[in-house]
Chain A
């Protein structure tokens, strides 16, 4: 427990550093409406590293870093121009083109290099869980210097839109993004950049307030994502990205309550939830009536949560068959696992099994697999038949429930009736 937590501490500190600089850039990026510029810059840096790799430099060498930086600066020049070019074509379109061309060019180059594809993947899919103190010692001074530079030049960088200052903005952003993408991966860096900044922009228009809200929500969300990844044994990066998505959703739900008439907001929320529930119920009713043997997502979820609900519509013998098939399938699985374990232990312990015994084990394993599939088929069939039997009654019930849940003003409908 404590060991696992010690795994998460460096990851959390890295996340705090990344949130610190990316929220600032995120606010800028939102203001300039160049949402995907981080992807384009990261991809260009990866292309630079790929070129260095092709020329025979190793992945961690200063030359490779130099190539990445050079390509990023070139891209910054290009991006600085896109603002003035983007008269009839939106700037985002040009950025998108830079991104896809850089990605495709890297693939074409890497196709000719040994171990190339994996190298490219490693540049763009960092894993925040496996980052450590050595990364923190690199990014802290780098981000501090970038932050200082932007604070000193805040007037020129945020307002003017002059070519040179645009270049400085994109160049410094490129340096930051290149390092952060290698640590945390494209998806997570994008979340760090956009989500906290968007929440900040949503709630206040003062730059300092936006930064503060962004930093707080970013840090809390990162902590929540890490905690979820730890508690539910999930891949860390993906869990954090989903946590950021959740944070944005929560902010969107909270927003009308903080900014405006609370009663109206509450009423609106309830109406939305009721419509949503009604649509879900009506959809499930139609699905059950039209195709009772197909997957029934709503019923399946409810049954998994409360297995005893099955006894409501299974006959006694069906229920017995269902449960017995489930137990048998589990027994076959356990037997297969035991055989696998036996073979695995035997690789190093005791006298080695010969090929004939191994062949016997694997044919046993195959049969267990088939028998297990058979039992699962029985379970599916029993359930499908039971659902077929109740299809009309149950879907009528679901439909009635949907009508009851739906926020339809029955009284006013009746008033408008024949009178």
Chain B
């Protein structure tokens, strides 16, 4: 009896009807997963390769990830050299339609107005070793409009019967987002004049949208500890310009940030740059809700 049940279950799992019920969308990061869910709704199952709490810039893929790609209908990636490790994974998965230029490959950075573009050979003095520009573009909520448009186009292409549904989902999401954006903007107005310092240069897009003033970074090159002259210069700058807030992400070293905060009497605030990196950042909108609240609290404005 048990054996019969098992066999039935196996056949059930293998049958194309079961697997094809929902589109399998695999994204590299949790932010893209959240945005894909916003467009796909209940027609897709989205999974992200990098767990919520890890630094996606130096993620080491697992064997399971190849399997996830093999079963994927669509691959979503950040691009701009942010998730370079995905290239090797795609080569291993051996599905050309998921690879660069394939019909099921989506680079979400398509049509984004990129900030801080520097040639490959310019020395990376602001924490990024790559020449493709700063890759943290999802931290401008307005860019979600472009990213979801790219996702919509891809979903409609591989699943035309549901195109209208995807479009309706996207418009509903964008309506919610634009209401929220006005709220965030008005709440962050008092922070506009405040100089901020961050550990890593993840925030130019956020800064541009909300007109925040990041005056410096602790990390000048990824993975290299700061030199004494750089730290001293940063502390001097912070004191001269009255910077009271140091921003870090949960995966960044607390010690170095606390050191700078102690030297300047600034307060330390932990912001999430990706969905799920902190409690209460379970989707794209909650991510900004939490970050706005954290910034307000750090500025003593709550």
Task: List chain A positions with a Cβ less than 8 A from chain B.
Answer: 3-4, 7-8, 11, 59, 114-118, 121-122, 126-127, 129-130, 132, 226, 229-230, 233-238, 333, 336, 340, 343-344, 347-348, 352, 355-356, 358-359, 362, 365-366, 368-370, 372-373, 376
Contacts and interface: CB of A to CB of B under 8 A. Distances in A.
Given A132-B259, A348-B192, A352-B208, A362 B117 contact: yes
A139 to B, nearest CB: 15
Chain B: interface secondary structure? loop
A336 to B, nearest CB: 7
A366 B211 contact: no
Given A118-B253, A347-B212, A233 B227 contact: yes
Interface in B234-276: 235-236, 250-256, 259, 262
Given A229-B228, A234-B227, A362-B117, 7 more contacts: A4-B229, A117-B55, A347-B212, A348-B207, A348-B211, A362-B114, A362-B133
Interface stretch (B2-10, B23-31, B119-127): B119-127
A130 to B, nearest CB: 4
Interface string B141-161: 010000000000000000000
Chain A: interface secondary structure? helix
Interface residues of B, number: 44
Nearest to A234: B227
Contact of A358 (B115, B231, B253): B115
Contacts of A237: 225
Contact of A235 (B212, B225, B254): B225
Contacts of B259: 130, 132
B119 A347 contact: no
A381 to B, nearest CB: 16
B226 interface: yes
Given A336-B118, A347-B213, A348-B211, A132 B262 contact: yes
Contact of A347 (B113, B208, B230, B232): B208
Contact of A369 (B54, B131, B192): B131
Interface of B: 52-55, 113-122, 131, 133, 142, 192, 204, 207-208, 211-213, 224-232, 235-236, 250-256, 259, 262
Given A347-B207, A365-B118, A235 B255 contact: no
B251 A130 contact: no
B58 to A, nearest CB: 9
B255 A347 contact: no
Contacts of A59: 254
27 contacts: A7-B228, A7-B231, A115-B250, A121-B253, A122-B254, A127-B256, A129-B225, A130-B256, A132-B262, A226-B228, A229-B228, A230-B228, A233-B228, A235-B224, A235-B225, A236-B225, A238-B225, A333-B122, A336-B118, A348-B207, A358-B115, A365-B117, A366-B117, A369-B118, A369-B120, A372-B122, A373-B119
A229 B116 CA distance: 29
Given A117-B54, A362-B133, A347 B228 contact: no
A4 B255 contact: no
Nearest to A2: B232
Contacts of B213: 347-348
A366 B114 CA distance: 10
A289 to B, nearest CB: 29
